[in-house]
């Protein structure tokens, strides 16, 4: 089975070599690596060029929304890919060298179409804590756990179906990881790989999420857009849209 690793990048040269090495040196060898750059003005492209097995794409569609820019570069990388199974990797994160081997073994054991693995968390260079997968709203099944982009993988068929409901020019605060998690939650296709961590996820000051401090106005606006995105998919799939307490609390704080 051919696996495609789609790497999205914008000015992450500080972390890029470690990221690319983790993709190139996987124990599972039947892979292709597509590095999709969103018009970086640092030395990201020079670093990528050192890896001869990595296919590099340069995209210059820049909007005021980092989330929409990221979606665009990933979609373009997917268009150039051929893999039966797709792995996403943000360029400030890195994989354990046996990640693809472990995930494909897990996929084959239960025919998973979408897999989220629990990552190790880093703040800049320091390992901080394990990723939490329990919360009140998660336990009530009113809201999906939002695993980061680099922890997500899926079949080509799943992503092709998801593309039809990605809304690439709408919900400018909602990144692709939130959209994928919501879509898989509604579709009830997600499996969670909860063994040894195979993804290393960095929370950096340069990341998209750094613009959202928990419970500030921007954070509430983003959360409302996520609710609206979820409800839009439910309507398309003819699933009852029941606006819960979380939705009304979010809307209240957004209006302040």
Q: Hunting for tokens 């268009």 — which residue is that?
A: 79
- Identify the pLDDT of residue 197: 93
Q: Which residues pair with 208 in a beta bridge?
A: none
Tell me 150's DSSP state: G
What's the whole-number average pLDDT of the chain? Answer: 89
pLDDT digits (tens, 9 = 90+) for 49-65: 999 999 999 876 678 89
Angle, CA of 232, 251 and 244, to the nearest 5°: 65
Fold adopted by 3-212: Spore Coat Polysaccharide Biosynthesis Protein SpsA; Chain A (3.90.550)
Angle, CA of 242, 247 and 251, to the nearest 5°: 135
DSSP calls for 224-244: HHHHHHHHHHHHHTT------
Angle, CA of 227, 75 and 25, to the nearest 5°: 110
- Identify the pLDDT of residue 125: 66
Single out the residue of 141, 24, 31, 46 nearest to residue 9, CA to CA: 46
Q: Hunting for tokens 């419970």 — which residue is that?
A: 215
- Identify the pLDDT of residue 139: 45
- Identify the pLDDT of residue 153: 98
As given in the structure block, the two tokens for residue 172 are 């400018």
- Identify the pLDDT of residue 140: 44
Q: Contact, 201 vs 150, CB < 8 A?
A: yes
- Identify the pLDDT of residue 255: 79
pLDDT digits (tens, 9 = 90+) for 173-222: 999 999 999 999 998 889 999 988 999 999 876 655 555 577 788 889 99
Which residue numbers in the chain have pLDDT < 50?
A: 136-140
């Amino acid at each position: 089975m051919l696996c495609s690793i789609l790497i999205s990048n914008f000015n992450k040269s500080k972390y890029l070599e470690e990221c690319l090495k983790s993709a190139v040196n996987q124990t599972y060898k039947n892979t292709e690596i597509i590095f999709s750059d969103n018009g970086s003005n640092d030395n990201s492209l020079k670093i990528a060029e050192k890896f001869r097995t990595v296919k590099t794409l340069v995209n210059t569609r820049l909007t005021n929304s980092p989330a929409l820019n990221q979606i665009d570069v990933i979609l373009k990388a997917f268009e150039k890919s051929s893999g039966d199974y797709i792995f996403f990797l943000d360029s400030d994160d890195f994989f354990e060298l046996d990640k693809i081997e472990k995930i494909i073994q897990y996929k084959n054991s239960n025919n998973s179409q979408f897999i989220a693995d629990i990552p190790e968390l880093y703040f800049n260079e320091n390992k901080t804590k394990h990723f939490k997968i329990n919360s009140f709203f998660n336990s009530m099944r009113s809201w999906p756990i939002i695993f980061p982009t680099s922890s997500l993988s899926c079949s080509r068929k799943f992503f092709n179906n998801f593309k039809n409901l990605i809304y690439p020019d709408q919900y400018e605060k909602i990144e692709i990881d939130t959209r994928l998690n919501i879509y898989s939650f509604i579709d009830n296709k997600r499996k969670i790989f909860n063994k040894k961590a195979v993804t290393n996820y960095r929370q950096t000051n340069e990341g998209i999420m750094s613009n959202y401090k928990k419970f500030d106005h921007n954070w509430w606006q983003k959360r409302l857009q996520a609710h609206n995105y979820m409800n839009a998919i439910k309507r398309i799939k003819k699933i009852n849209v029941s606006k819960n307490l979380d939705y009304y609390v979010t809307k209240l704080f957004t209006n302040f």
